[in-house]
Amino acid sequence: MREYNSIVRVLAFHVKQKNYAYTDILSNALNVDAVEHALYDAMRDYLSLCTSQPQQKAQQKEPQQKEMEECCPSPEEVKYIERDIQRLFEEHRERPLIELLRLSRELAIKAVAGSIVMCRSKEGGSGGSQAQ
């Protein structure tokens, strides 16, 4: 599962923002299309939220906005997100559907668990910022 940390991070970001739509879809998916749409939509919304925020002075920002920005990816991380989604589907193309569905549920569970510790290192705690 380590190889999909960027996907878990995207999903955990949405859970941290109290947006459970993507994890709900992944938890209940019955076909490849549902998984694919949920992951790409989650990635697109994640990048949109993180890159479209107007730059304000730190003291003028709402606490929730500061927290969201702290959880956004660095420019280096962004390039890995889509690559990891593409790799997930390439790796599961010839496998039984049940394996992809099992993985989608595992990603959703890890995202919910990961949202609890997400950004902890940026908030002063110890440990990494990615869900494991």
Averages of pLDDT over each 10 residues, the chain, 132 residues = 83 92 97 97 90 56 63 75 93 95 96 77 39 38
pLDDT digits (tens, 9 = 90+) for 33-57: 999 999 999 999 998 888 765 554 4
- Per domain, the residue ranges of the chain are 2-123
| pTM to 2 decimal places | 0.77
Question: What string of H, E and C letters represents the secondary structure of the chain?
Answer: CHHHHHHHHHHHHHHHCCCCHHHHHHHHCCCHHHHHHHHHHHHHHHHHHHHCCCCCCHHHCCHHHHHHHHHCCCHHHHHHHHHHHHHHHHHHCCCCHHHHHHHHHHHHHHHHHHHHHCCHHHHCCCCCCCCC
